[in-house]
């Protein structure tokens, strides 16, 4: 008499830490955006990822730590795309338009990430709120650094920071409006900002040989 043998079970693939962390952040971003930070649970996030809740705590320390990691990731990616695109411009106007278009495109294609950064990150905890403020500061610095390349004098350069603050604040509010009006494209949203900024930029850089 012969006995049947079951086929050997294939060993489970060990998921690299970086890949596992990416999965956790992706699912957490999804859950936080769907339910809001306060209504989200580590149990649900762990279940969706397919890991134990203790593993989530091992990686991020707490639910707030997980939220902060998500907002840091969103902030980093937003800065990367806006910086890369802005620096392709050859004039102050081109650099600003490029950066604005990239900003609005990010919001359209990464709506969950931006919502998390602006809404959950702003109200869930002081540490998470600091991430949104840091994102604003980064984009203010990006505009100042980009436009400073064309400043015809130190006095012009000194005026760039308050101008950049106005642009960043206005752009953020327009982005909120655009989420309620999805028919407005990223290019159209950028045009609206440029409509207001163009005259000021032209006057500010009037003495520059590189004015656009």
pLDDT in tens, the chain (212 residues): 455 555 555 455 677 888 899 999 999 999 988 888 888 999 999 999 999 999 999 999 999 999 999 989 989 999 999 999 999 988 888 999 999 999 999 999 998 888 887 776 556 677 777 888 898 999 999 999 888 887 766 656 677 888 899 999 999 999 999 989 999 999 999 999 998 887 667 666 665 544 44
The pLDDT of residue 127 is 78
For residue 70, CA distances in Å to 19, 83, 121, 179 come to: 15, 20, 9, 20
The pLDDT of residue 211 is 43
The pLDDT of residue 117 is 77
pTM, two decimals, is 0.80
151 DSSP assignment: -
The pLDDT of residue 129 is 78
Residue 152 contacts residue 208 (beta carbons within 8 Å): yes
Alpha-carbon distance 130 to 135, whole Å?
Answer: 9
């Amino acid at each position: 008499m012969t006995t049947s043998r079951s086929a050997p079970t294939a060993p489970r693939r060990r998921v690299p830490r970086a890949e596992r962390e990416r999965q956790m952040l992706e699912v957490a971003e999804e859950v936080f955006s769907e339910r809001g930070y306060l209504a989200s649970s580590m149990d649900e996030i762990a279940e969706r990822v397919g890991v134990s809740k203790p593993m989530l705590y091992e990686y991020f320390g707490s639910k707030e730590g997980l939220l902060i990691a998500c907002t840091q990731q969103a902030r980093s990616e937003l800065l990367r795309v806006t910086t890369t695109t802005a620096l392709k411009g050859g004039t102050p106007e081109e650099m600003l338009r490029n950066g604005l278009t990239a900003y609005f495109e990010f919001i359209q294609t990464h709506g969950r990430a931006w919502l998390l950064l602006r809404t959950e990150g702003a109200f869930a905890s002081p540490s998470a709120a600091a991430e949104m403020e840091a994102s604003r500061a980064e984009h203010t610095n990006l505009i100042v650094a980009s436009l400073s390349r064309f400043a015809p004098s130190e006095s012009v350069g000194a005026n760039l920071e308050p101008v950049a603050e106005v642009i960043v604040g206005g752009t953020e509010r327009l982005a909120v409006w655009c989420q309620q009006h999805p028919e407005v494209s990223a290019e159209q949203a950028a045009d609206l900002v440029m409509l207001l900024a163009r005259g000021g930029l032209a006057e500010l850089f009037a003495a520059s040989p590189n004015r656009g």
